Structure 1
Amino acid sequence: MEVSCAFPTALDSPDNIALAERLGYARAWVYDTPQQSPDVWMTLALAAERTERIGLGPGVLIPSLRHPMVNAAATATLTELAPGRVAVAFGTGFTGRRAMGYRAITWSYMDSYIRAYRGLLRGEVVEWEGAQMQMLHPDGHAPARPVDVPVLISALGPKGHGVTKEIGDGLYVTLQLPEFMKEYSWVPNLVWGTVLDEGEASDSEHARLAGGPGWALAYHGAYEFGGPSAVRELPGGAEWMDAVERAPEERRHLAVHEGHCVELNEADEAAWKAGGHRMLQDVTVSGTRDQVRRRLDDFAAQGVTEIVFQPCGPDTRAELERFLEAAES
């Protein structure tokens, strides 16, 4: 199983990707979350200039955020800057849409979007929104078509599985491992967590800072997919909902997603202090080095081919080093 990393797109992400390359990580994915991040393509271009080996890609692009021509042109640019190193993943939009108050896009839209995007990269004339279009870049303005990059799709249910099997090159998963994973030869699994010292408590300051942002996704996900009642079933869930419900209803998605995958927001802090930290090892890949190693072995047995670790907290180097040591032990 390959060991890769991910970063919530930030101004220091290109330097962190260069660090990950020096440490030996196989690939670096960055998020398409414009409501809280710099532009994903600008970040990847800077990372391409600072690296030589590590794979690069957006994980995941949200189709509704850009015209397919824009993503095709950006993809072509990155393949020229980092030849042979680029892969692209698409998703229907968790943070990239829900944090702005939208629901996820439909799978029919995803299917038609990726078909248009891939057709453009092949140099074909495609139809989008009733218009005929083609990549017309002259020599020197983009690599010659066709531009061939692998496309992965994030899917959990049968509709997404059907689209991915038909038009994708792999399955990108996170938070939940679908039963159909073993049908794919390339399955990155995005995880959060931290390697704890022997005897370190789940509510230590290090655990809160490095493991907390990933742990908080349990509450964010429960709220978005199950509603307030699902959150209240979690340890500290009542306190989490109390904090969220202090915001006006039309702005609660802002209270939920503030700090998403980066730091604990007000609701997350309330849940952590109320005992929610007890779930840390259940909902993230956290534990001692041996415990983390066993979790990774379990993922591999289920069909994961690439583990994608997002470090959190103030010491990115230490988190990357500790996780890689556990993965390779």
Structure 2
Amino acid sequence: MDVSCAFPTALSTPDDIAVAEGLGYSRAWVYDTPQQSPDVWMTLALAAERTERIGLGPGVLVPTLRHPMVNAAATATLVDLAPGRVAVAFGTGFTGRRAMGYRAVTWAFMESYLRAYRGLLQGEVVEWEGARMQMLHPDGHAPARPVDVPILVGALGPKGNKVAHELGDGLFATLQVPDFLHEYSWVPFLLWGTVLDGAEAADSGHARDAGGPGWALAYHGAYEFGGPDAVRALPGGDAWMDVVEQAPADERHLAVHAGHCVELNDADRAAWAAGGHVMLPDATVSGTPEEVRRRVDELGEQGVTEVVYQPCGPDTRTELERFLAAATS
């Protein structure tokens, strides 16, 4: 199984990716979350200039954030900067849309978008929003078409599975393990967590800082997909909802997604202090090196071919070192 990494795009990400390459990570995926991050394509271009081997790609792009021509041109640029190293993943939008108050895009829209995007990279004339268009880049402005790049699709249910089979070269998974993983030969699985010292408690300061942002996704996801009752059913869920509900109803998505995948927000800290930290081993891949390796092996048995680890906390290098050592021991 390949061991890759992911980063919630930050100004330090190009340097972090260079560190990951030096440690031996296979690929670096970078989030498309413009409400809290620098531009994903600019970041990947800088990373391409600072690395030689590691795979690079956005994981995942949210279609409604950019015209398909914009993403096609950006993809071609990155392919030129890092030939043979680029893969692109698309998703319907969790933080990339919900943190701005939107719902996920429909799978019908995703299918149309991917067909247009693929066609553009192949040099075809495609139709989008009622107009006919084609990549017209002269020599020196982009690689010659066709621009061949693997495309992965983030899907959890049958509609997404259908689109992934028809238009994708693999499945990009996170949060849940769909029962159709074995249908694909390439399945990156995005995960969070931290390697704990032998006697380290699951509520230590290190566990909170390094594992907490991934743990908090249990609350963020429960709220977005199940509503307040789903959150209140979790340990510390009442404390979490009490903080979120202090915000105006039309701005609660801001309170939910502040610090998403980077640090604990006010609601997350309240839930952690109220006992929610007990979910850390189940909500993330956290534990001793032996426990982390066991979880990675279990994912492989379920059909995952590439684990994608996002480090959190103040010491990115150490978190990357410890996870890689545990996952490959």
Q: TM class, shorter-chain normalised?
A: over 0.9
Partner of residue 319, structure 2: 319
Gaps of 5+ in 2: none
Instruction: Give 1:221 shift.
Output: 0.2
Report the 3-state secondary structure (helix = DSSP H, G, I; strand = E; otherwise coil) of the residue aligned with 1:324: helix
**Sequence identity, in percent?**
79
Distance, in Å, in 2 between the alignment partners of 1:166 and 1:41 is 26
Structure 2 counterpart of 1:79, one-letter code: V
Partner of residue 45, structure 1: 45
Partner of residue 72, structure 1: 72
Partner of residue 88, structure 1: 88
Report the 3-state secondary structure (helix = DSSP H, G, I; strand = E; otherwise coil) of the residue aligned with 1:308: strand
Q: How does 1:129-208 map to 2 (within 5 A)?
A: 129-208=129-208
Which runs of structure 1 show a deviation greater than 2 angstroms over 4 or more consecutive aligned residues? Answer: none
Distance, in Å, in 2 between the alignment partners of 1:29 and 1:117 is 19
Report the 3-state secondary structure (helix = DSSP H, G, I; strand = E; otherwise coil) of the residue aligned with 2:277: helix
TM-score by length of 2: 1.00
Distance, in Å, in 2 between the alignment partners of 1:188 and 1:145 is 27
Distance, in Å, in 2 between the alignment partners of 1:44 and 1:296 is 27
Distance, in Å, in 2 between the alignment partners of 1:194 and 1:18 is 21
Partner of residue 112, structure 2: 112
Partner of residue 61, structure 1: 61
Structure 1 counterpart of 2:306, one-letter code: E
Partner of residue 24, structure 2: 24
Q: How does 1:243-322 map to 2 (within 5 A)?
A: 243-322=243-322
Q: How does 1:219-234 map to 2 (within 5 A)?
A: 219-234=219-234
Structure 1 counterpart of 2:186, one-letter code: W
Distance, in Å, in 2 between the alignment partners of 1:296 and 1:139 is 45
Report the 3-state secondary structure (helix = DSSP H, G, I; strand = E; otherwise coil) of the residue aligned with 2:196: coil
Q: How far does the alpha carbon of each residue in 1:220-278 deviate from its partner, in whole angstroms, 9 at most, with x for none?
A: 00000000000000000000000000000000000000000000000000000000000
Distance, in Å, in 2 between the alignment partners of 1:214 and 1:136 is 42
Q: CA RMSD in A?
A: 0.2
Distance, in Å, in 1 between the alignment partners of 2:318 and 2:162 is 40
Distance, in Å, in 2 between the alignment partners of 1:167 and 1:117 is 10
Instruction: Give 1:323 shift.
Output: 0.1
Partner of residue 101, structure 1: 101
Report the 3-state secondary structure (helix = DSSP H, G, I; strand = E; otherwise coil) of the residue aligned with 2:180: helix
Distance, in Å, in 2 between the alignment partners of 1:274 and 1:249 is 24
Instruction: Give 1:17 shift.
Output: 0.1
Distance, in Å, in 2 between the alignment partners of 1:244 and 1:267 is 6
Instruction: Give 1:137 shift.
Output: 0.3
Between Structure 1 and Structure 2, how many residues are aligned?
329
Q: How far does the alpha carbon of each residue in 1:83-115 deviate from its partner, in whole angstroms, 9 at most, with x for none?
A: 000000000000000000000000000000000
Q: How far does the alpha carbon of each residue in 1:155-196 deviate from its partner, in whole angstroms, 9 at most, with x for none?
A: 000000011011100000000000000000000000000000
Instruction: Give 1:199 shift.
Output: 1.1
Partner of residue 236, structure 2: 236
Q: How far does the alpha carbon of each residue in 1:274-294 deviate from its partner, in whole angstroms, 9 at most, with x for none?
A: 000000000100000000000
TM-score by length of 1: 1.00
Structure 2 counterpart of 1:61, one-letter code: L
Partner of residue 218, structure 1: 218
Gaps of 5+ in 1: none
Distance, in Å, in 2 between the alignment partners of 1:5 and 1:161 is 24
Report the 3-state secondary structure (helix = DSSP H, G, I; strand = E; otherwise coil) of the residue aligned with 1:179: coil
Instruction: Give 1:20 shift.
Output: 0.1
Distance, in Å, in 2 between the alignment partners of 1:220 and 1:167 is 29
Structure 2 counterpart of 1:36, one-letter code: Q
Distance, in Å, in 2 between the alignment partners of 1:183 and 1:254 is 37
Partner of residue 35, structure 1: 35
Distance, in Å, in 2 between the alignment partners of 1:180 and 1:282 is 22
Distance, in Å, in 2 between the alignment partners of 1:277 and 1:251 is 26
Distance, in Å, in 2 between the alignment partners of 1:311 and 1:117 is 31
Distance, in Å, in 2 between the alignment partners of 1:168 and 1:4 is 20
Structure 2 counterpart of 1:255, one-letter code: A
